[in-house]
Structure 1
Amino acid sequence: MKTNELFRWGASLSAALVLALSASGGPVSLNGKWELSFWPQSGEAVLSPEGLEKIEATTIPATVPGNVEIDMEAAGLIADPRVGATVNDLRKYEGYQWCYARRFSAPELRSGQRAELAFGGIDCLGEVWVNGVHVGSSDNMFIEQRYDVTDCLKAGDDNLVQVILRPVVLESQKHLLGTFSMGNFASEESVYIRKAPHMYGWDIMPRLVSAGLWRDVALEIVEPVRIADVNWVTTNVDAETGNARLFVDFQTRMPFDRFDKARMRFTLSRNGKQVYQGERILFTHAGRQIIELQNADLWWPRGYGEPALYEARAELLDIDGEVVDTDVRKIGLRTVKLDLSDINLPDERGRFCFEVNGEKIFVRGTNWVPLDALHSRDAAQYESALKLVTDANCNMIRCWGGNVYEDTRFFELCDENGLMIWQDFAMGCAFYPQRDDFLDGLRREVMSVVLKLRNHPSLVLWAGNNEDDANLYWGLMAFHLDPNRDAVSRRVIPEVLYEFDVTRPYLPSSPYYSEAVWEKGSTDEYLPENHLWGPRGYYKDPFYTTAPCTFVSEIGYHGCPNRSSIERMMSPDCVYPWTDKDRRWNDEWITKSTRRFVAWGPTQDRNNLMLNQVNILFGSVPDDLDEFVFASQAVQAEAMKYFVEMWRGRKFERTGIIWWNVRDGWPIISDAVVDYYGSKKLAYYFLSNVQRNVCLFINDPREGTYPLVAVNDTREAARGTVTVTDAATGREVFRGSYTVPANGRSEVAALPVAEGQGMFVIRYDVGGETFANHYLYGEPPYALSDYKKWLSKTKLYDNRDK
């Protein structure tokens, strides 16, 4: 059983079972019941078991994987921080230390075996002790930690592991910071310590500077003869014939007397059928096996073909032919390229286009933010959250840099569902240290992440960070720093990728301020790829409609959650009204907006976005909560639908849109189209409808007519019939047929511009199925009652969440 299997184990095991597993080389799960002790740090931090004896601490039961807040809530010490403004009460615990402890059983090791204590995630600054012996330290929340504990273990039940954690907000004071970038979100205290940036507070998450053992813990027995690493690499494919070439780079660990006798065996199978097997004698500990396949099934993104996966098996055979170690994983055969130019110019549009297996891909994507502020709850939500993505027919997820790196199961699900992954490294909106001590630690992090994830076909892009390039421009005003001198994104990360993963494109930052852009003055007009937030007023503002970028990787609009969710996230007295008679916001709505520090006072600007946007589209803001919820969601839905249709309508002049965002990671009021509780806002239904592989829609008028556009994000031509009617009068505006080429766009008709206000309903068929869409025509403000009446006549969204 390999390491990636051990992190699926559940509760702790009996001593007898421990011995049985050790005999077969299996891991011993240390998940389950632990003890958690905590105390406020005063003066120097406690670092050892001896120091623990000198302090007074509170001790409660704990569960691993877990976070300290979850255990304190279970013990009745704190209220649920997801409700109301109670998350603010956790501020005082930022100055606490924590100690996780448990006793466990260990096997008697055979000759040559070693024992390692494996932590999927330690949050964050920790000292690990086993039986009173210091076995290692942790200074990085993001990566797996392993400690050799062979020499301090005792066979049997009487082993004690202790993990002593110290507070990052106090530890951060020990690091001298350079020039502050003074961004809108990232906290200066966050940049030196490798912990999820959002935990210090963001506009999408509360300030919740947690601690814990947030992923699985296990004792693993390491054999003297084993596979150390396997990397399956597709070098080229022919999409027409299915011919593919790949190689397998492998490394082993074994004594010298196995050389020239031990063998590696490689097997590829698909749907239970073996398509390749080859062996080689091990003359050295490492090597490469080259594989040629004919008529192979390729991995394709959603809509463009099947995301075919192969079982890839590597086996290490000892001198007598016995299999002593096995590495099994699913791989996909595909190539990926990002056609990227350094600058966007008025007479030469900048390029930013993904190509998979030589085919240009139009990206319909969503940004992926934390699934929970307390990350031990992440893994249980992978399936449900990714179903939201696939049901909305996205083909790309951008894993945003303020988050953690998702675990292996997330990437497996994306592999299976044809979801391309754009993976930011975990940095955002800040200027990170340039000194060697920080860079050396970051290099280890990047190596760890790349080695863990590089075999997944869904992973199509590494990006250095979120908005660090832009932040150097925004935050330093007249004293702009050239991001092309940044050692993190221009030196350390690409050096690791050059050595360990040359198969994927690398984007230094999103958006990327290349040297050519920098020389021009770093304004948005020169960026081929950009984040479009802008005035956040009317969604047809020229900021959006005339945006020069080719690809937009962030764009969004605020929308109020459904009433049922508001009632869950607020205390009963604060559900409504959100302001008093003097238009002062109640504190819970401010907390949910979100506010980093209570000392900031009444920061209601993000909630006011909803009021402003509703007032623009409908002329007034309803006082009734249900009416306000609908109006706010309608504005968000129309805006998000409009953005996607505007981008798709200019395919491949525009090459993709990744909207913000599919789901909240906390009960808040936000741009997400699904809230923390899984309740869908109206925008989710609008987006799902306009992200079909083949879709017909109406774009805004050009040269006096409405373009009726058909787009096709598949590799086969599509055709059918289409009608357009006016929802208010039932008048038929157009009836005809359409044809759209494979992976193409066609203009079906030029419709006359209608006078006044109303809503067109577009009904069309694809492959024997009938679909519908709508287009809101005229200029705002619209009467909310008229809008509701028109929308109801489309019958498109009658079964939505409310």
Structure 2
Amino acid sequence: MCTIKIKIAEIAILLAIMTSTFRGKASEQELSSDWKMASMEQVKSSGEEISQVGYRLRGWQTAIVPGTVLTNLLEQGEVPDPFYGMNNEKIKDIYETGRDHYTYWFVNDFNKKAKGEEQVWLHFRGVNYSCDVFLNGQKVNDERHYGMFLRQTYNITKLLATNGNNRLAVIVYPVDPVGNPNGGQGGDGEIARNVSHQYVAGWDWIQPVRDRNTGIWDQVTLETTQLVNLQNPHAITRVSGIRFPGKKQQPAQIQTSAELVNPTNKTVNGKLVAELDGIKVEQAVSLPANSTQLVKLPELLVENPKLWWPNGYGSQNLYKLSMKFLQNDQVADEETITVGIREIQRQWNDRTRSMEILVNGQKVFIKGGNWIISDAMLRFSPERYDAEVRYHRDMNLNLIRIWGGVLAERPEFYEACDKYGLLVIQDFWMSGDCNGRWMDPKKKHDQWIRRQYPDDHHLFIQSAADAVKLIRNHPSLAMWCGGNEIKPPVDILETLRDSVLKKLDGTRWFIEYSNSDSMSYNFLGGNGDGPYGIQPDSIFWQHRTWPFNSEVGSVGVGDAESLLRFLPEENQVIPTEKRGTESVSDPVWTYHKYIGYGNSIAAYGEASNMEDFARKAQLVNYNQYRALIEGFSAHMWDWYTGTIIWKTQNPWTALRGQMYDYFLDPNAGLFGLRTGSKSLQAVCNPATKMISIVNNGFESENDLMLVAKAYDMEGNEQLITQVFVYIGPTTSKKILSVNSALKRMGGEKDGSFLLLQLQNHQQKVVAENFYWFPNAEGNYSGLQSISKSKLEVSAKKTGKNKVVVHLKNPSGAPVAFFNRLAIVDAKSHERVLPVFANDNYNSLVPGSEKTIELECPQSDNTNWEISIEGWNFAKQYFPVQ
């Protein structure tokens, strides 16, 4: 991804184009170009007529597939960008227009013919919501296809044109009912009568998607095989006992299977072969005519395997597993999947009354983020998935939960999680709001009726089974969940739990709903999750909440450059909050779901304009999320077994709960989490000023030096302590209080700074944490009068798309406080995004130096400068040598 422009439409187009990237096997080709589209209201011809090559597509528009009707209309300039300002209100909603308005034909001309005994298969990985498919004048599907999450596969060998010139025509119908977007969670709730995503009728973090994401939203591919099609290969890895990263391992077992499809009218004999790392197993097979058969192979035994570990605990080793069906020693079909050798278990913690997650026999303290979807309008790409998941890795999180109102996430998302070590909880498509957990006057039907949504239970179960097959091989997939804050209806629940998951997976924990007592016993009352707004930092340390909190979060406004990308000039204002509500004085801020910062901004001095407000908001973001993750981690195994932040990202230009914005620009919350969530870290309770050490690793740390220093606003230093500490594996340990030392440095009058370092026996700093504290009245009075920074900066390029920035704060200077670094285009000074940094929003004490590494792997422009702006350092630009 190149430099992010302020015009949102340009970004939307870029992301849509990027979806054409396809990574499949050699026998597959993606139909991702040369599509045309037209409204059903415009075209009166039949599918048999339209799908003939000779039919003229006069007046049809170029289409992007994968893509929705709305993304295509946006590309063609027929609607304004719904993510900018109040533009979404200018787009007709399907509830008002009727479904025909967003019912569209999609047509693709492609060249393909079968040779000899070849079989050609047409695959749709996702159509929303129902469709009929035509090829060369003939209808392909006997009955209309329904279901957003149910893949389609058709053998089209006999329908292909003998000259190879073919036309595919697909008419796509929206969900039915479309739901009334009346401001409720999921609007009036009727959207949940479909087996589709629910947020498109609106939620408390997004406005309605006007076409409900109607379209061919995922890949369309052609696959060529011989007489047999190998489908849905499956690998289960077994890792017994307690393992340690980087050590010699006892053997691991891998169980493999695949479905073999014989579409012909004769029996086919051959063998199924699986190979991993030079180890082969095989099974002779006889396939009757017109049959599908599940074939299980003998067990693969892998000596001294390289194991897959979650982020922060070890490497994410991956293997390629090849599966082939051989007929007369010739390959009829082949699939290659990626395998991570690991085993995930669970055990109940009687002290916390919540579940503990184990990987390869080791307890893992869960530090997670709730994920909605990469893009609300379904403009996905491997590059964007990689960037978003990498940000979660960089926050030192180890889990992502897929919220139940959206998708079974795409394989490309899971590939990124495999790569970066993020465990995943995959919710199925239920929510307490739409599916009847609570009374809600905005809902059309009462709880008893909503409790039976969706209308077609069989389709839900069929779609769930197909989703399991799609993503079950990924080592990152750790848990299934029946729904968000509610169990599925009894028949769906029992079938999922007792049949589908046992038969098709059998290795992962199934949580009946996201805040289930089986995950985290609710002995506190309420819903078992939250809160969701600004909290005093001390709350996360002092107040005990649910023992495995599936949703807890806070604010997340970006800085001024982030806000300028979607706020019109007249709406670039200070958000003045109204007492007792979440609304603000400006309608665009309200429309983009802003939640307030309370009096936390005023503690740094009243904001003078939007830029000043956003700058001060970053200080709050950093402290909120650092305090959250440190407070939970400091009570690991005693109060908690894990926590999942609501939420870490937004699929549109929202003004709440995010660590980076829709444009992949990080805010300070990301780096607060990164610092507070390090595998080994010294942390400070903001209420008591008690220092603790948190060790998330599997081994003891027996030779650490804790160094604690206090600083006043002039930069004067006081060494508080320098002491060797020892700490066992996966635990936290209190060391000492620094409260009195901070008071001696003028903390009660002006506030003070605290630097914590952990050094190894070579005196190398292995972890650092820097705090700023208010005065006795809770105000940061000293920061408001601190002297200007004397920061010295140099930058040089060290490799392709990489820059190292050296920062130095000379002795005798004040603290160089809260410096934000960015890579910018040398001409326009616009930020280059996404950018990944080993540190940011950093502070330097007098006489210290830091080296910051920045990387922009998706940028094709390297004419860069470095932008730096700090609390006491005016923005400057520095050349990259």
TM-score band by shorter chain is 0.7 to 0.9
* TM-score, structure 2 as length reference: 0.74
Question: Is 2:146 the partner of 1:134?
Answer: no
1:714 aligned residue: 697
Note if contact 1:100-1:162 (Cα within 8 Å) is conserved in structure 2.
Answer: yes
Q: What whole-Å deviation, never above 9, does each CA across 1:668-727 have from its counterpart, x for those lacking one?
A: 2111021111222111111111111111111255xxx64311112222333322222223
1:109 aligned residue: 114
Unaligned runs of 5+ in 2: 1-16, 288-292, 436-449, 790-813, 823-868, 870-881
Distance 1:564 1:409 in 2: 29
- The letter of the residue matching 1:99 is Y
Q: Secondary structure at the match of 1:102?
A: strand
1:733 aligned residue: 720
| Residue correspondence of structure 1 range 421-460 to structure 2 within 5 A | 421-429=424-432, 430-431=434-435, 434=452, 438-460=456-478
Distance 1:37 1:257 in 2: 42
Report the Cα offset of residue 332 of structure 1.
1.5
Report the Cα offset of residue 372 of structure 1.
1.1
| Residue correspondence of structure 1 range 192-591 to structure 2 within 5 A | 192-208=193-209, 209-238=212-241, 239=243, 241-254=249-262, 262-269=270-277, 274=278, 276-282=279-285, 286-319=295-328, 321-340=329-348, 349-429=352-432, 430-431=434-435, 434=452, 438-468=456-486, 486-513=490-517, 524-525=524-525, 530-533=528-531, 536-541=534-539, 545-578=542-575, 585-591=585-591
Note if contact 2:175-2:214 (Cα within 8 Å) is conserved in structure 1.
Answer: no
Q: 1:378 to 1:123 in 2, by over 3 A?
A: farther
Q: 1:678 to 1:435 in 2, by over 3 A?
A: closer
Q: 1:295 to 1:559 in 2, by over 3 A?
A: closer
- The letter of the residue matching 1:202 is W
Distance 1:8 1:249 in 2: 33
Distance 1:507 1:325 in 2: 36
2:838 aligned residue: none
**What's the RMSD between the two structures over aligned residues?**
3.8
- The letter of the residue matching 2:553 is G
Q: Secondary structure at the match of 1:570?
A: coil
Distance 1:25 1:383 in 2: 23
Note if contact 2:179-2:187 (Cα within 8 Å) is conserved in structure 1.
Answer: no
Distance 1:670 1:461 in 2: 27
Distance 1:491 1:11 in 2: 36
Note if contact 1:559-1:610 (Cα within 8 Å) is conserved in structure 2.
Answer: no
Q: 1:435 to 1:726 in 2, by over 3 A?
A: closer
Note if contact 1:722-1:763 (Cα within 8 Å) is conserved in structure 2.
Answer: yes
Note if contact 1:580-1:586 (Cα within 8 Å) is conserved in structure 2.
Answer: no
Note if contact 1:119-1:145 (Cα within 8 Å) is conserved in structure 2.
Answer: yes
Q: 1:612 to 1:157 in 2, by over 3 A?
A: farther
2:174 aligned residue: 167
Q: Secondary structure at the match of 1:440?
A: helix
1:688 aligned residue: 674
Q: 1:399 to 1:683 in 2, by over 3 A?
A: same
- The letter of the residue matching 2:544 is A
Q: 1:685 to 1:501 in 2, by over 3 A?
A: same
Q: Secondary structure at the match of 2:64?
A: strand
Q: What whole-Å deviation, never above 9, does each CA across 1:731-768 have from its counterpart, x for those lacking one?
A: 22222122222333332334445553433221222573
Note if contact 2:557-2:658 (Cα within 8 Å) is conserved in structure 1.
Answer: no
Please, which moves more after superposition, 498-507 or 204-213?
204-213
Q: 1:203 to 1:794 in 2, by over 3 A?
A: farther
Q: Secondary structure at the match of 1:627?
A: helix
Note if contact 2:757-2:767 (Cα within 8 Å) is conserved in structure 1.
Answer: yes
Distance 1:515 1:724 in 2: 38
2:93 aligned residue: 92
Note if contact 2:128-2:173 (Cα within 8 Å) is conserved in structure 1.
Answer: no
1:176 aligned residue: none
Note if contact 1:103-1:157 (Cα within 8 Å) is conserved in structure 2.
Answer: no
Report the Cα offset of residue 794 of structure 1.
6.0
Note if contact 2:773-2:780 (Cα within 8 Å) is conserved in structure 1.
Answer: no
Distance 1:743 1:221 in 2: 50
Q: Secondary structure at the match of 2:88?
A: helix
Q: What whole-Å deviation, never above 9, does each CA across 1:544-584 have from its counterpart, x for those lacking one?
A: 84334221222111132211121110122222255699997
Note if contact 1:764-1:771 (Cα within 8 Å) is conserved in structure 2.
Answer: yes
Note if contact 2:520-2:549 (Cα within 8 Å) is conserved in structure 1.
Answer: no
Distance 1:128 1:731 in 2: 75
Report the Cα offset of residue 624 of structure 1.
1.9
2:156 aligned residue: 149
Distance 1:252 1:300 in 2: 32
- The letter of the residue matching 1:497 is L
Note if contact 1:190-1:200 (Cα within 8 Å) is conserved in structure 2.
Answer: yes
Q: Secondary structure at the match of 2:299?
A: strand
- The letter of the residue matching 1:34 is W
Unaligned runs of 5+ in 1: 1-6, 13-20, 174-181, 470-482, 594-605
- The letter of the residue matching 1:571 is P
Q: What whole-Å deviation, never above 9, does each CA across 1:204-248 have from its counterpart, x for those lacking one?
A: 222112322222212333532232342211234342643222322
Report the Cα offset of residue 588 of structure 1.
2.0
Distance 1:8 1:111 in 2: 35
Report the Cα offset of residue 188 of structure 1.
1.0
Distance 1:147 1:329 in 2: 22
Seq. identity, %: 20
Note if contact 1:25-1:222 (Cα within 8 Å) is conserved in structure 2.
Answer: no
- The letter of the residue matching 1:739 is Y
Q: 1:712 to 1:516 in 2, by over 3 A?
A: closer
Q: Secondary structure at the match of 1:731?
A: strand
Higher relative helix content: 1
1:119 aligned residue: 124
Report the Cα offset of residue 79 of structure 1.
1.9
Note if contact 1:186-1:428 (Cα within 8 Å) is conserved in structure 2.
Answer: no
1:724 aligned residue: 708
1:670 aligned residue: 656
1:649 aligned residue: 634
Aligned residues: 725
Please, which moves more after superposition, 309-318 or 215-224?
215-224
Note if contact 2:369-2:400 (Cα within 8 Å) is conserved in structure 1.
Answer: yes
Note if contact 1:236-1:246 (Cα within 8 Å) is conserved in structure 2.
Answer: no
Report the Cα offset of residue 258 of structure 1.
6.6
Distance 2:631 2:679 in 1: 16
Distance 1:31 1:636 in 2: 41
Q: 1:187 to 1:763 in 2, by over 3 A?
A: farther
Q: Secondary structure at the match of 1:512?
A: coil
Q: What whole-Å deviation, never above 9, does each CA across 1:47-72 have from its counterpart, x for those lacking one?
A: 8567999xx99742212122222322
Question: Is 2:592 the partner of 1:592?
Answer: yes
Distance 1:123 1:438 in 2: 15
Distance 1:364 1:220 in 2: 40
Distance 1:171 1:564 in 2: 36
Distance 1:633 1:466 in 2: 30
Distance 1:780 1:378 in 2: 50
Report the Cα offset of residue 513 of structure 1.
4.6
Q: 1:491 to 1:202 in 2, by over 3 A?
A: same
**Partner of residue 624 from structure 1, selected from 604, 609, 615:** 609
Q: 1:785 to 1:537 in 2, by over 3 A?
A: same
Q: Secondary structure at the match of 2:717?
A: coil
Note if contact 2:711-2:753 (Cα within 8 Å) is conserved in structure 1.
Answer: yes
Report the Cα offset of residue 447 of structure 1.
0.7
Report the Cα offset of residue 351 of structure 1.
2.3
Note if contact 2:481-2:512 (Cα within 8 Å) is conserved in structure 1.
Answer: yes
Distance 1:699 1:468 in 2: 35
